[in-house]
Structure 1
């Protein structure tokens, strides 16, 4: 399995992913023209020389090294909300108290805003069901952090991830059902398609601008505020293990939570190791014990490659990582080249990867 930047000839595979993912996966609408533009923008972003983030979009694919098939995709937005707002509701509690009567009450409130303007976002994570295998989900999730660790100037200090909220197998969202009934008579699939296509002006025009008291919502809508789809929980747990936290911001359409972390405090970034590569002349030196597995990436931008190093030997005293010639070739690493790796956590890995792959009724892995 190899991670690389997306190319134009990946359009058909990306379209199939967009169709499979269904409503709610707003970052990949099933529109070939939109997807073609996303690929072009990603290619331009990888080619651009960047000192500060300015709307670049990096889209990667996971490729089967043997067949060349695209197994999944994952992405990073360098700075969201600069050219058009990224809207969220902030879910908080207000207290009302009468001293004369000795009565108090707590009321849930939703306030619409664009708090995360300028932040970086990890997104577009999807593993196709037929390619579920050990470590594939972790590779798609963690490779973004290796890229960010190597090129921090391309990203903001705060990184967010929008998690898919609760919806049923038909794509109906309890939260949006209530919003649709009272404010915007448009089905959930259409709304997410508009947002994914970059058309979200209707949010400020038609959605409620004033504080929305959650007691006015239906019980079903209230219950899902800040909750994730059952099959998105493994993806959320991986991000929580990286240090991401939910601070009350939720999606305005399905009320799924947005989690955030400081770039330098993300665990896989903080613990990643810069090293120099050597090609092992004696394969017996390479360790194959599970505790030595890691995700390894080169330091290129437009020729970025990453994969699982199942055999390696790290010499901490001189910062040298010995790997096989075949892995070096797959990752475009020559002897003496700089690279970066992060250890792959293996506790319950086989179970975790199987669960992480099951993300909707067609069993992909995805966040928004």
Structure 2
């Protein structure tokens, strides 16, 4: 499996992903003109000289090099909320207190805000169900942090992820059902398509501008505030392990949580290291016993390539990464080139034949492999 920047030849696969992901996945819209423009914007972003984050959007695909199949997507928006506002609700509390009457009441409220304007956002992570395999979701999620670590000038200090909130298989959101009943008479699928296409002017025009007292919402709507879609839960756990935390900000439409972390404090960013490549033959003795599970990437931008492998050996001192020749070619790495890597799991115990011996939950419990997250 190889991660690379998206290209126009991937349009058909991207259109399939836009259909498969369904309502609530606002990063992609099932519209070929929109998707073509998104691909071109990504290509332009990868080819742009950048000294500080702007409106760049980086979209990657996961490809099976043997078949050419596109297994999934993952992306980063360099700076959100600049061209059009990025709205959230912030969950907080207000206190109503009358000293004279001896009455005290603490209530939860939701306030609309633009708190994350200018932050970078990881997004568009989707692993196609027919291609689900151990490590694929982890690669799609973590590769973005390796790219950030190598090119920090392209991204903000704060990184956010908007997690998909609770919705049914029919594309109905309990939270939106309440808002629709009282404020905006649009189907959830219509709303997410409008937002995904950048048409969010209706938010300022129709959404309630005053705090929402949560106890006035329906019980169904209250129950999903800050909760994630079942299929997004593994992705949230993975981000939490990287250091992301929820600080009370939720999506305007499905009330899914937005999590955040400081870029340089993200586990895979902080623990990654740049090293010098030593290309070796596959039958080199040092590679025969298997190495640690490593996420490896070259240091290019437009020519970025990355993969997850146990076929390479990282020597932190003196900063050497030994890579078999065929893998080096796939990653566009030459002997003496620079690469970046991060260790994901200790070397497997080959003698036990038990996936759990790797310490990798995606191997021991492949059914938990994440499928998608906003």
Fold similarity call, TM over 0.5: yes
Name 1:295's counterpart in structure 2. Answer: 295
After TM superposition, give the deviation of residue 99 of structure 1 in Å.
2.3
2:73 aligned residue: 73
341-350 vs 254-263, which deviates more? 341-350
Q: Show structure 2 runs of 5+ residues with no match.
A: 346-358
Q: Distance in 2 between matches of 1:3 and 1:354?
A: 22
- Number of positions where the alignment pairs a residue of Structure 1 with one of Structure 2: 360
Runs of at least 4 residues off by over 3 Å:
287-290
Mapped to 1, the partners of 2:230 and 2:94 lie a distance apart of 29
How much has 1:132 moved relative to structure 2? 0.7
Report the equivalent of 2:316.
316
Q: Partners of 2:303 and 2:31 in 1: how far apart?
A: 27
Shift of 1:356: 2.7
Which string of whole-angstrom CA distances, capped at 9 and with x for unpartnered residues, describes residues 5-34 of structure 1? 000010000000000000000010111111
Query: Aligned to 2:369, which of 313, 337, 356?
Result: 356
Q: Which residue of 2 aligns with 1:50?
A: 50
Q: Please tell me the root mean square deviation across aligned C-alpha atoms, in Å.
A: 1.2
Going from structure 1 to structure 2, the CA distance change for 1:288 and 1:146 (only over 3 Å counts) comes to farther
Looking at structure 1, the residues matched to 364 and 166 of structure 2 have their Cα atoms a distance apart, in angstroms, of 23
Superposed displacement of residue 91, structure 1: 0.8
The answer to whether the Cα contact below 8 Å between 2:134 and 2:369 also exists between their aligned partners in 1 is no
- Which is worse superposed, 236-245 or 105-114? 105-114
Q: Distance in 1 between matches of 2:13 and 2:312?
A: 32
Q: Is the partner of 1:344 in helix, strand or coil?
A: strand
* 2:2 counterpart of 1:10: no
Partner of 2:356: none
Structure 1 position 69, deviation (Å)? 0.5
- Whole-Å separation in 1 of the counterparts to 2:236 and 2:29: 22
Q: TM-score, normalised by structure 2?
A: 0.94
* Deviation readout 1:51-83 (Å, 9 max, x if unpaired): 001110000000002101000000000000011
Gaps of 5+ in 1: 358-364
Shift of 1:230: 1.4
Give the drift of 1:136.
0.3
Residue number in structure 2 paired with 1:114:
114
Mapping of residues 230-245 of structure 1, within 5 Å: 230-245=230-245
- Is 1:283 the equivalent of 2:296? no
Say whether the 8 Å CA contact 2:295–2:344 is kept in structure 1. yes
Q: 1:1-368 to 2 correspondence within 5 Å?
A: 1-281=1-281, 283-286=284-287, 288-289=289-290, 292-345=292-345, 346-357=359-370, 365-368=371-374
Could you tell me the TM-score, scaled by structure 1's length? 0.96
**Take 1:57 and 1:17, find their aligned partners in 2: how far apart are those partners?**
18
> Aligned pair in 2 of structure 1 residues 24, 318: CA closer, same or farther (>3 Å)?
same
Give per-residue Cα distances to partners, 1:84-134, cap 9 Å, x unaligned.
Answer: 100000111112222233332211111111111100000000000111111
Rounded to whole Å, the distance in 2 between the matches of 1:288 and 1:52 is 43
